[in-house]
Structure formats: C-alpha cells, structure tokens
Amino acid sequence: MSKIKIALLPILILLFFQCAGFYNKPEKLENTVQKNFSTSVRIEFTGFGFYEKELNLLKAEILKSGFKENKNSPLLLEILLEEKEVTYNYKFLHVLNMVTSIFSASLIPYYTITQHKITYRFSENNKSLGSYSLILKLDQLRGLSVLPLTYFFWPSSAFDQSILDSWSKGELVQ
C-alpha cells in the first residue's frame, strides 16, 4: 500500500502545477509625488531578485515613457517590490477549498491570491521628493480542470501586465 501512495504523490503534485492567473487592476495606496521632474534619472530596483524579466520589462516601459537613464543624475527613481501576506476574508472557505481540491485530485481547482506592493520613490541628493505605491493582486486557480486555461492565462503573463500597468496607467508618466 505504501508503494501506491509513493507513486501517487508525484502525480498529485503535478496536478497542482496546472495554474491560471487572472489580472487585477493595480490599486493605488498613496501618491505624494509632484510631477515636475527632470527626465534624466538614476534608476534602482529593489526586491526584483526572482523577477528579472519583469524588471527588464518595467525598465523598458519607464524609458519608453520619456525618462532617460543617467547613472550620474542627482534624481533617483527607486522602485521597490515587496511580496505581501494575503489574508482571506473567509478563511474557512479557503481551507475547505484546499481540502476539496486535494480530495478531488485537483478536479476542483484551488483558489489562491498573490499580492505585491510596488513603490516608486523619487529623491534628489538624499532628499525625498515623494513616492507612489500600489497593490498588485493576482487571482490564481490551480488544478487539473484549469489545464485548458493555462496557455491563455499563465500567471507570469498576468503579473507582467500588472507590473507594466503600475507604471503606464499610473500617475507618473511624464
């Protein structure tokens, strides 16, 4: 019997790798930025260790919006990405969803939320000029029944869109 359990474990794990991510519009937290900036900035990224592709996409979007990167500029644009802990409104339903997903061999998809906070902070000569913060949420469904959706709704694609929209649809574009 234990050999069957050991053989089924990798299959169950693979079933949970089927994932679809759904984009949510970034939610503005605060904006203390004045728009009267020079277009020449030094850009620093913090918290993008696992998100190299997103860092490059965001940097290209910033440069496309009219800013010019200059390593010697006194104006610093610091971009911070933080993963936030998610609290579910109905924790009991979330746990029940997880249990039913496990016992149905992931035919009933497991619902999760990932949440990040992105902050754009401007400073000049160590003097803060303001910051702009947003929450980036991504709804995800995991399980075998979402397999047909994974090609169209891959989570990293939805996260890429959320990161880009935090800049392009925000209030920082020159």
3-class secondary structure per residue, the chain: CHHHHHHHHHHHHHHCCCEEEEECCCEEEEECCCCCCCCEEEEEEECCCCCHHHHHHHHHHHHHCCCEECCCCCEEEEEEEEEECCCCCCHHHHHHHHHHHHHCCCCCCEEEEEEEEEEEEEEECCEEEEEEEEEEEEEEEECHHHHHHCCCCCHHHHHHHHHHHHHHCCCCCC
Residue 22, in any domain of the structure: yes
Residue 150, in any domain of the structure: yes
Predicted confidence (pLDDT) at residue 171 exceeds the cutoff of 80: no
Residue 173, in any domain of the structure: no
Residue span of the structural domain in which 158 resides: 2-168
Residue 73, in any domain of the structure: yes
Query: In which residue are the tokens 């290209």 written?
Result: 60
Domain count for the chain, please give it.
1
- Which tens digits make up the pLDDT trace of 83-95? 999 888 888 998 9
Dihedral pair phi/psi, residue 151, rounded to 5°? -65, -40
Query: In which residue are the tokens 């902050």 written?
Result: 119
Residue 39, in any domain of the structure: yes
Predicted confidence (pLDDT) at residue 34 exceeds the cutoff of 90: no
Query: What is residue 115's predicted lDDT score, i.e. its pLDDT?
Result: 93
- Which residue in 79, 67, 146 sits closest to 118, CA to CA? 79
Beta-carbon contacts of residue 63 (< 8 Å; ≥ 6 apart) = 69
Cβ pair 157, 21 in contact under 8 A = yes
Residue 23, in any domain of the structure: yes
Better-scored residue on pLDDT, 39 or 14 = 39
- Which tens digits make up the pLDDT trace of 75-134? 999 999 999 998 888 889 989 998 998 888 778 888 888 999 999 999 888 888 888 899
Predicted confidence (pLDDT) at residue 3 exceeds the cutoff of 70: yes
Predicted confidence (pLDDT) at residue 14 exceeds the cutoff of 60: no
Query: What is residue 60's predicted lDDT score, i.e. its pLDDT?
Result: 93
Better-scored residue on pLDDT, 163 or 19 = 163
Residue 123, in any domain of the structure: yes
CATH of the domain at 121: 3.30.160
Residue 63, in any domain of the structure: yes
pTM: 0.81
